[in-house]
């Protein structure tokens, strides 16, 4: 069993080997740029780890790991255009460094390359099921992004819709990566489905934790600016739970503060956080996160391989979900 | 053997059946809009016709035909964003009717659906070769679009580069569609490759004809405004051939007129056309078109099926390439 650091290193070696050198370079340079921009490479590492639950020759799954990371980065390139984001991992976004047309077109070709990489497993007997799993996930990622954009202009978003949105936009890609790893290693359909549900619930729990950290994280440990979601009036789990628990007047006043762009940012963050604290939103969010985390572990437990093989996957999930506020 | 009208009708029935009804409708409505916007459906019809060179049960190839038309329309949606086009087939472009973010995201999900449709042939023994053929073509379409964008700011484009660009941007999709039809019908590799070359050369000839008609077509028969390429200073085959044949001074003066946005459009069109005529560019363009048309027919001839089965394909190619100036 290879640990996280080893898998991370192996993946970066793969990335260096697969750098695109084709012409026209105007199309391919932005792809190399975003792929080399860094990140934790969680999806490919979890895919490889899941493969290793069942089989040892993980190099067989490397094209899938690369495919998933390419898809993830494709979605970042196009999402950053839609969100008009200028920075990604502290560096200029693709459309900002190059231009929007390049961002669109290089993103498109990345999505096609994903299928090239998937097809490197053409002799795997589960190849069509692997591609179908990927397709379903990729479609849901787009649906989740559309839901997220729709929510921006809605004031009646329900918590259940929010969970559906983050499930699609964030969690299914993790789930799909993990399931693809299982399928590639010839896991039973039942085990592959447990792997999927493990990943999906980890993904939802991770996003709920991220929502909480965005408002209540330790500025020294949290990578982004604390309070960013509040400043941007994002309808996170915290806001939606607060609206559920608040009296009609409290809810109205919360929405008013969130949409107010005239008060100083720090005052806005403090006021909203005090409402969250009064309504015990941090505790509610932690409880929700723990619910999904528990579900995730139940599915991991249900996978029919020796417990000793699951140690590293469990450890990675715990690391992902163990960040303190 | 089904004629063009029958195949067109069958394809439209398929299109009606496959209308996307999923949620969120903000994501799927633009897809139905562009798919129903019309067009000659040349690529799916040629794919079905090629299948029928080898086998009669063309309903087996319908998912591929639908996949190719979906990809073609995906590329229109994203190209129209990049070109800032407001009209497509006389109607508002997707990003103009909805918005740019919708155009990007709906386009993305269309590209994923292409692979869903391709995988409907999962039990076909050539399925991985079909998907690989599609991938190669799709990558080249993006490369062709990038080359086209690069050419806008270059003044040293060579004729050979232009042929490579239209080959990728336009012709390979036709070629790929035709090859996929052949592969689905279990054609030999040799026949599938002849089918590809037939399609590619038809595609190049068709684009050269389109370049010629854009400047010298009969306004009553040509669907678009005659002279559009000249007004937009597009580096078509006509311009590049003229630059090749002109003296240095003539060439310089041609480039000056083409980039001049101050003279009235009709004067600009007339002046450039008179230079083209003086240099016998229409004749040169027709000769080039005929060269590719001849190559196409040689590859069609080489396909190892009875001549009687090729009548309709040949007729369609002749119709496509027989438009008079």
- On whether both B37 and B152 belong to a single domain, the answer is yes
Q: Is residue A162 domain-resident?
A: no
Q: What is the ipTM of this complex?
A: 0.96
CA A257 to chain CA mean position, Å: 29
* DSSP conformation letters of A32-56: HHHHTS----HHHHHHHHHHHHH-S
Tell me which chain B residues have a C-beta less than 8 angstroms from the C-beta of A132. 116, 119
Q: Mean pLDDT throughout A227-253?
A: 94
Same domain, A63 and A121: yes
A163 occurs within a structural domain = no
Partner residue opposite B104 with nearest CB, options A82, A115, A119: A82
Secondary structure (H, E, C), A121-140: HCCCCCHHHHHHHHHHHHHH
Question: Whole domain around residue B291: which residue ranges?
Answer: 188-325
Q: Which of B152, B180, B208 is the last residue of a domain?
A: B180
Q: Do A193 and A324 sit in the same domain of this protein?
A: yes
Using a CB–CB cut-off of 8 Å, the residues of A that contact B are 22-24, 26-27, 78, 81-82, 101, 104-105, 107-109, 111-113, 115-116, 119, 122, 127-128, 131-132, 135, 138-139, 142-143, 145-147, 149-150
Same domain, B256 and B214: yes
Are B149 and A104 a contacting pair at CB < 8 A?
no
Confidence of residue A324 (pLDDT cuts 50, 70, 90): low
Does residue B123 surpass a pLDDT of 80? Answer: yes
- Residues of chain A with Cβ-Cβ distance to B128 below 8 Å are 119, 122, 127
CA dihedral B71, A28, A113, B180 (to 10 degrees): 50
Question: Are A103 and A221 members of one domain?
Answer: no
Q: Could you tell me the two tokens for B272?
A: 């450039």
Domain count for chain A: 2
Residue A321 lies in a domain: yes
Task: Measure the CA–CA gap between B127 and A132, rounded to whole angstroms.
Answer: 13
Tell me which residue has tokens 């394909």.
Answer: B313
Residue B111 has its nearest CB partner, among A22, A81, A111, at: A111
Residues A223 and A325 in one domain: yes
Going by the DSSP 8-state scheme, the letter that residue A120 receives in this structure is G
Name the domain boundary from A81, A109, A139.
A139
Residues B206 and B112 reside in one and the same domain: no
Distance CA A190, CA A194 (A): 6
Neighbouring CB atoms inside 10 A of A86's CB total 12
A104: domain CATH number is 1.10.600.10
What's residue A223's pLDDT?
Answer: 67
Radius of gyration for the alpha carbons in chain A, expressed in angstroms and rounded: 20
pLDDT at residue number B325: 64
- Sequence length of chain A is 325
User: Which of A81, A104, A142 has its CB closest to that of B109?
Assistant: A142
Contact, A52 vs A2, CB < 8 A?
yes
Shared-domain flag, residues A226 and A119: no
pLDDT tier at B1, thresholds 50, 70, 90? confident
Do both A325 and A192 map to the same domain?
yes
In this structure, the answer to whether residues B170 and B35 fall within a common structural domain is yes
Distances (CA, A) of A174 to A53, A305, B167: 16, 20, 39
Judgement on whether residues A194 and A322 belong to the same structural domain of the protein: yes
Domain C-terminal end among A81, A105, A139 = A139
The model's pLDDT over B261-285, given as tens digits with 9 standing for 90+, comes to 999 999 999 999 999 999 999 999 9
What's the mean pLDDT in B203-226?
Answer: 89
Contact A88, A33 (CB under 8 A): no
Q: Is the pLDDT of residue B222 over 80?
A: no
Q: How far is A260 from chain B (nearest CA, A)?
A: 25
CB-CB under 8 Å, B132 with A119:
yes
pLDDT at residue number A1: 78
Instruction: Examine residue A182 and state whether it is found in any structural domain, yes or no.
Output: no
What single string gives the DSSP state of each residue in A83-103? Answer: TT--EETTEE-HHHHS-HHHH
Which residue in B84, B91, B4 sits closest to B47, CA to CA?
A: B4
A-to-B residue pairs, Cβ atoms closer than 8 angstroms:
100
Supply the pLDDT for residue A325: 64
Token pair belonging to A13? 């070696």
| Residue A218: both structure tokens together | 């330790």
pLDDT tens figures, A160-179: 999 999 999 999 999 999 99
User: Average of pLDDT values for A44-68?
Assistant: 98
Considering the domain architecture, whether residues B14 and B63 belong to the same structural domain is answered as: yes
Comparing CB atoms, the residue among A116, A138, A149 nearest residue B112 is A138
**Per the domain annotation, does A60 fall within a domain?**
yes
* Among A115, A108, A192, A141, CA closest to B118: A115
**How far does B297 lie from chain A, in Å, by closest CA?**
31
* pLDDT for the residue numbered A244: 96
């Amino acid at each position: 069993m290879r640990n996280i650091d080893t898998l991370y290193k192996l993946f970066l070696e793969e990335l260096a080997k697969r750098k695109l050198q084709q012409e026209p370079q105007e199309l391919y340079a932005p792809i190399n740029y975003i792929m080399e921009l860094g990140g934790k490479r969680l999806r490919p590492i979890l895919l490889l780890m899941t493969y290793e639950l069942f089989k040892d020759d993980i190099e067989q799954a490397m094209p899938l790991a690369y495919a998933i990371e390419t898809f993830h980065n494709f979605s970042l390139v196009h999402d950053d255009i839609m969100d008009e984001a200028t920075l990604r991992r502290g560096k200029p976004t693709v459309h900002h460094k190059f231009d929007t047309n390049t961002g669109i077109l290089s993103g498109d070709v990345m999505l096609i390359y994903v299928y090239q990489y998937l097809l490197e497993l053409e002799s795997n007997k589960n190849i069509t099921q692997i591609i179908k799993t990927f397709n379903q996930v990729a479609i849901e990622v787009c649906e989740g992004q559309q839901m997220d954009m729709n929510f921006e202009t809605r004031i009646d978003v329900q918590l259940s819709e929010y969970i559906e949105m983050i499930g699609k936009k964030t969690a299914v890609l993790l789930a799909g990566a993990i399931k693809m790893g299982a399928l590639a290693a010839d896991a039973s359909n039942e085990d592959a489905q447990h792997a999927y549900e493990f990943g999906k619930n980890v993904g939802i729990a991770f996003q709920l934790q991220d929502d909480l950290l965005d408002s209540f994280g330790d500025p020294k440990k949290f990578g982004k600016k604390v309070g960013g979601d509040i400043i941007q009036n994002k309808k996170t789990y915290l806001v939606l739970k607060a609206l559920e628990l608040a009296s009609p007047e409290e809810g109205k006043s919360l929405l008013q503060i969130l949409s107010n762009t005239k008060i100083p940012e720090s005052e806005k963050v403090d006021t909203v956080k005090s409402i969250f604290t009064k309504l015990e939103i941090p505790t509610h969010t932690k409880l929700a996160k723990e619910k999904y985390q528990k579900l995730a572990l139940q599915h991991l437990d249900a996978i029919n391989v020796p417990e000793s093989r699951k140690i590293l996957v469990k450890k990675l999930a715990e690391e992902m979900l163990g960040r303190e506020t």
